[in-house]
A and B are shown apart, each in its own frame.
Chain A
Amino acid sequence: MKVRVVTFPGSNCDKDVGSVLESEFGAKVEYTWYKESFSDTPELVVLPGGFSFGDYLRCGAMAKFSNAMDSVVSYAKKGGKVLGVCNGFQILTESGLLPGALLHNRTLKYICKDVDLVPVSENSIGKEMKGTLSIPIAHGEGAYFADSDTLERLEKNGQVVFRYKENPNGSLHDIAGICNESGNVLGMMPHPERAVNPYTGKMDGKQILEALLKK
């Protein structure tokens, strides 16, 4: 099973997610530098967390203008699976692969803590999961925003994949993660790769990565 992890200048969770996919799922991980293109069809492409291009101008705004993102967009449009975590989620919204945008947390504070996630969707990987998942968040700009028509469409199509049990950042509809209409692109602010190994004290992220790899 091949997975591509895209690294941008300022990505800092690329090795975290890559090593977890290697050690826990036996994936063959290749890292793609943002200047490179790819045309193969791995099982999964991951846009990792971090601060691509220093988050200057807006989070994720610069990353969309890269060869790697051109490849990610064409891979996703052919139905390839993409996971964007945290900054990766911001890049997915900026590049138009997912609707909406991520705003500053309502408190204006950077939040780093475990949160309870409720998988909600009937139509996406959410349905593969049971119960509430405890997953860490670490972000300053994670409040999901979309206009009311888009929110209504997301709810109607079952594109809301994860909701916060207790909203930490002011996300509309308590949204923590969404997928695109066809369900192959998932963006989420919480970090599943940080809750996979018993050494971290949490294992609930494993369900999410497992569901993504097998779906």
Chain B
Amino acid sequence: MSMEVVPGPAGYIPTPPAFEGVELPPPGKALLYGKIVDEETAMREAAKAMLTRRNPTIFPGPLVLWGWNASAMEKAKAVLELAMEIPNCRIIPMPDYRPKYPKIDPEAEINPNHPNLTILHNKIEAAIFVGIHCHYANLSLRMIRAGTNCFTIALCAEMGHEDAMVSLRDQHAEEIRRFRDVLVQVREELGIKWEPKLPPENPSLPPENYETLSVVDYGEYSYLLIPRRGEHITESE
């Protein structure tokens, strides 16, 4: 009997579902609360969570945010189309996995080193993870399950994540649009009225102007930029 993966808080040090017999779904299937089910069933449950729980939020990761190939760009569009159909949905990005100095801004971004802070600060009770490298998605999902009551949904481009309440695998632009269609259908069944519109602006940090950056802006790393006394750099890549 494998573990039931439900919203937390699961406690101080959560047990990974993989330790308790939860296996990733085969192609064409999905995970719902740690059980293997049809994709449609999982999508409907995920849609219901995003439509009925407080402060639904999408967390896109680098594989969606960075336009590193045509497929990523198309996927980013699909994620935006999905967000538009979810009433009052927000988008909080996970642009990278760096630890942040001196602390994160939980409204501007989510960080895998303490993702629970972003969830708690914004009182998010339903979240979609998409475009995050699997390792970091697993870490974040488990920490969120440990310390929050957030219902997590993973739209994974690979094999899925045991720690999400709903885990859909092999999700690319086409599959995300299918999920959007299912969500719209569930929304209508629930009688929720909503005109598609863009999510609110993310209060991210202002874009950096690299032309005005000085060595001092690099703080403790500035020593890496300043040549040592007597050192002459004659060539560089």
A binds B: no
B interface residues (Cβ-Cβ under 8 A, vs A): none
